[in-house]
Structures are given as structure tokens and as C-alpha cells.
Amino acid sequence: MGIVRKTASVKFVLSIFEEREKAVSVVALVKLLKEKMNKTTVYRILDRLEQDGIIHSFLGKDGLRWYAKCQGCSADHHLDVHPHFQCKDCGDVECLPVDVLIPSVENRQVDSAEIMLVGKCGNCL
């Protein structure tokens, strides 16, 4: 079970993801919301929104956690099996709307794949 009560904090975090296309790191969110809410609250709201299939998360190239809007996921099924791209100059992260086939590996059961592409974005080229 994720979000049960639509508090002011929850609404505010949701509005950030509604307005934004690109992914955002938890670190940036905590900084951005410093005046509005406690960092523990940010972490917990993100947890709940992810459980509900409203946002999804992944690790950037430095091991920090990033979040982005989901496209048609639900509490039961996260379908966000797309790769992500991080610019090594500006640090921006984007979801790549590309279907990726999870490679199979002999003698192992592969359940998910995290694919992180690193390079330079259009702005930084």
C-alpha cells in the first residue's frame, strides 16, 4: 500500500513530477523541498509513490537514486524497463522511450535489467 492520504506534501511532490519531463535525483528533491518538508518525508513519499506505480526509480552513474514519472504502470506492475541516459557534463538524466529486450543468460533467471547509458546530451555536445 502506497499513498493513502493526499497531504499537502504529497500534492507538492506530485506537482513536481507532473510539470517535469526529465528524471530528478532524491538529493535534488530534498534540496528543492528543504523549506517545504523534512528530508525523511521526501524519502517516504517517494517510496509510496513508487509502490503505487506513479513514479519509478533507478540508480544514476554515481549510485544516487533518481526518480521519474511512470507511463501506464500500476501498483502491481512496473513496466518501466527502458534504459536511462545520463550526461556526464551536466548530470541530467532522461528516460529513453526505447523497448529493450532483456538478454537471457544460461543457467540463470533474469528478472530485470538496469541499463544506464552515459555520454553527452544534446545541450552539452
Site residues (vs a second copy, CB under 8 A): 59, 61, 63-65, 83, 85, 87-88, 96, 98, 100, 102-103, 105, 107-122, 125
If binding is defined by CB under 5 A, does position 89 make contact with Zn ion? yes
Q: Which residue has the cell 513530477?
A: 17
Residue placing its CB nearer to a second copy in the complex, 40 or 112: 112
Size of the site for Zn ion (CB under 5 A): 5
Q: Which x/- pattern, by CB under 5 A, does the window 27-66 give for Mn ion?
A: ----------------------------------------
If binding is defined by CB under 5 A, does position 46 make contact with Zn ion? no
Alpha-carbon separation of residue 63 from 18, 57, 110, 111 (angstroms): 25, 12, 22, 21
| Dihedral of the alpha carbons of 39, 94, 70, 62, in degrees to the nearest 10 | -40
Instruction: Name the DSSP class of 93.
Output: E
Q: Exposed (0-12), middle (13-18) or buried (19+): which is 23, by Cβ within 10 Å?
A: buried
Pick one of Mn ion, Zn ion, a second copy, none as the site partner of residue 125 (Cβ within 5 to 8 A by kind): a second copy
Site residues for Mn ion per CB under 5 A = 68, 95
